[in-house]
Structure 1
Amino acid sequence: MLIDHSEVPKLLRRSHIHSGYRPLNKSLRYYVASAFRLHNELVNFWTHMLPFFFIYFYFLHPEIFFEAELRWPLVVLYSGISVLFVASSFTHLMHSRSQNDHVFWLLVDFSGIFVFSLCVGIQRISMKESSSFFSTDYWTTSGFFVIAPFWKTRDVIRLITCLSVAAVLYVPLLDRYFSSSTDLDPGLSLHSSAFMWLLISGIFMGANIPECFAPGRFDYFCYGHQLFHLCIFMVTWNVCEAARLDADSVNPELLSTKIDLFPTVMKILFLNVLGIVGTISVLFKIAKGKNEEQK
């Protein structure tokens, strides 16, 4: 039995989505099983879980098991995208259980976005220069969500930091835009397509289109966040294809695990994982305390 928005805490409501909410405080099994039942998060779950399977079987699995030598930058990239999709899928599946669950799983979702950004950056630019910038996006998104979940300016700050990260990720490609043509550099057109889909996704994510024009009419299918998910799949698909083409055109020694950069990158990834766990732990305790005070 589903409920409407009037029976759901404000923190768990979607703008302009009036029905199709799952009841609160059910068992974990109920929310896992809801992956196969109609509700307003069902499409959100599958529009990231199916892309995860696609990325894994089409890119990650062949790269690990069928390449003559492991090309670690591609493995890192594909793994980061997989983390993004899995984190988002389970967030949409599990966040509706309670306000505390909502906060925890949204922090997991933000962490998936951070890992994705970091792994794309590993492939394109030095991690020592980029890691702190990606952390700015992660901490502003997560921190403001916990401290001021209903502050409208929070969304503006989130948008600015996300756009800034997107721009920085394309800085290493600028020389290719000025010195190469798409005929000589086929990966360049795919990078451009990825950026185009990223901009389109921002429209659906930020403007809540089309449900803002007809509240209650898109409660189950085709509301903005679902369309945003489809755009993100196109972003990642283009990014993966471009990375594979780029890898074919560079010195193979740069992709080898024997290169000096490899252990440094592994340490950076490990430290960032520890940072993510610590960030989630601290912010979740803060949010849980705030929720207890409001009861």
Structure 2
Amino acid sequence: MEFYNSNGIEQLEPVFWEDGIISGYRHPHSSALDCVLSSFQMTNETMNIWTHFLPTWYFLWRFVILCSTLTSLSDSYTWPLLVYMLLICVYPFTSSCAHTFSAMSAESYHICYFFDYGALSLYSLGCAMSYGSYMMPDSWVNSWLHQHFVPIAVGNSVFCTSLSCYSRSVTPQGIMGKHFECLPLGLLSKALRTAAFVVPFIFDTVPLFYRILLFFGGGSTDHLSNHCYHLLFAVLSCFLFTSHLPERLAPGRFDYFGHSHQLFHICTVAGTHFQMEAVLADMTSRRAWLTAQGATPSFLGTFGALVVSLTLNLGIIGIFSAPLLSCFQKQRRASAS
């Protein structure tokens, strides 16, 4: 595996550059095997890979334990939870794979992160399902918003994937650029990508914000501490993602340990853990009351919505990936000749 240090970073295509990261870059045309092996060597991506790969197994373990404790998978009340638990396993695993295989080429770099964004947008759908099913304020149950919460979340997931993929495609030459070789317009690209994930997050957590307001207004709510921990880590994650701190203050000092993306991964996993605990607690404690109100999830509103969203998001990823795959094939034919 070939690495690029501070004296060789100029050899890299600009698309691979990260703010404040000077050394430890992998060769931009590594094989798939080299990419896998690099996860056991110290590069500036190693900790990014493991800070999401290891938590995948923790969430998968919790998912398996949950399935083993359910009396029946035909119980529709548990379906939103099953979808949510499945998706909190998928998004860190997809992120880990994206960081692992993004060094195969400039084209693969973009495509890997297209799938990463798609997995995160599906995670936002899982959050909406669990929040809409177990966390809705009492006065909102069976309201218009409650009945349309999941369909709107499906639209948000499509918006999230579309805008985040588009943010990686904006170049000085226009959408996709002439050869997709230019560095995305930094601030605009980052702003679009941040907005792509902030919008679903705000929508998903509207019921939670309302419950917090009720609490401070003298109302009562259960399990608020885990919800607040989740919100705290969500804010920290957003800050780290957009600020590129601390590496921006001391370029080269945090190339391998402690840069913002590693901290971002840790905060997202910690936030998901607290969110999961809060969802499980609300799901258990409010079951009798929600069932009595007739607020029972449907197959179409859970697994059906997941399939629809997955299909639409894969289609969007395919649309953005097609020009890159075509460019990659042309380059391979040119090098072969």
Residue among 94, 97, 102 paired with 2:101: 94
1:243-281 deviation digits (Å, cap 9, x = unpaired)? 0100111225968xx956123322211111111221111
Aligned counterparts of 2:109 and 2:214: Cα–Cα separation in 1: 47
> Using a 3 Å threshold, how does the CA distance of structure 1 residues 292 and 103 change in structure 2: closer, same or farther?
same
Secondary structure of 1:14 counterpart: coil
CA displacement at 1:39 relative to structure 2? 0.8
- Greater Rg, structure 1 or structure 2? 2
Is 1:166 equivalent to 2:201 in the alignment?
A: yes
Q: Deviations over 1:159-203 (max 9, x none)?
A: 233222221111122442243479953422211211111111111
**Aligned Cα root-mean-square deviation (Å):** 2.4
Is 2:140 the counterpart of 1:133?
no
Instruction: Give the deviation of 1:66 after TM superposition.
Output: 2.2
Q: Does 1:272 align with 2:273?
A: no
Question: Which residue is 2:139 aligned to?
Answer: none
> Number of aligned pairs?
292
Distance 1:77 1:264 in 2: 13
TM-superposition CA deviations, 1:101-153 (whole Å, max 9, x none): 10110101111111111110111232112221232222111122124351131
Secondary structure of 1:214's aligned partner: coil
Matched position secondary structure for 2:223: helix
SS at match of 1:172: helix
Secondary structure in 1 aligned to 2:258?
coil
Name the aligned partner's letter for residue 21 of structure 2: I
**Counterpart residue number, 1:238:** 274
User: Secondary structure of the equivalent of 2:169?
Assistant: helix
Q: Partner amino acid for 1:66?
A: T
Which one is further off, 42-51 or 64-73? 64-73
Aligned counterpart, 2:4: 3
Q: What SS does the corresponding residue of 1:68 show, helix, strand or coil?
A: coil
User: Which SS does the other structure have where 2:19 is aligned?
Assistant: coil
Structure 1 contact 43–221 (Cα < 8 Å) conserved: yes
Which position in structure 2 is the counterpart of 1:39? 43
Correspondence list, 1:1-295, <5 A: 1-4=2-5, 5-57=9-61, 59-70=62-73, 71-125=78-132, 126-148=149-171, 150-152=184-186, 153-180=188-215, 185-251=221-287, 259=296, 261-289=298-326
Q: Measure the CA separation in 2 of the matches of 1:96 and 1:252.
A: 51
Structure in which a larger fraction of residues adopt helix? 1
Moved more, 97-106 or 179-188: 179-188
Cα distance, 1:77–1:260 mapped onto 2, change above 3 Å: closer
Q: Using the alignment, how far apart are the partners of 2:162 and 2:229 within structure 1? A: 28
2:286 partner SS: coil
Mark the runs of 5 or more structure 2 residues left unpaired by the alignment. 133-148, 172-182
Query: For residues 197-218 of structure 1, what are the alpha-carbon distances to aligned partners after superposition, in whole Å with 9 as ceiling and x for unaligned?
Result: 1111111111110100111111
279-288 or 45-54, larger mean C-alpha shift: 279-288
Residues 142 and 69 from structure 1, CA distance in 2 versus in 1: closer, same or farther, beyond 3 angstroms? same
Which residue identity lines up with residue 94 of structure 1 in the other structure?
A: F
How far does residue 157 in structure 1 lie from its aligned partner after superposition?
2.1
Cα distance in structure 1, aligned partners of 2:285 and 2:34: 49
Deviates more, 1:278-287 or 1:176-185: 176-185
1: CA distance, partners of 2:219 / 2:40: 45
The unaligned stretches of length 5 or more in structure 1 are none
**Contact in 2 for aligned 1:146/1:287 (Cα 8 Å):** no
Contact in 1 for aligned 2:245/2:259 (Cα 8 Å) = yes
Contact 2:169 2:184 in 1 (8 A): no
- % identity of equivalent residues: 23
The corresponding residue for 2:136 is none
TM-score (norm 2): 0.80
Q: TM-score scaled by structure 1?
A: 0.91
Structure 1 260/238 Cα, relative in aligned 2: closer, same or farther at 3 Å?
Answer: closer
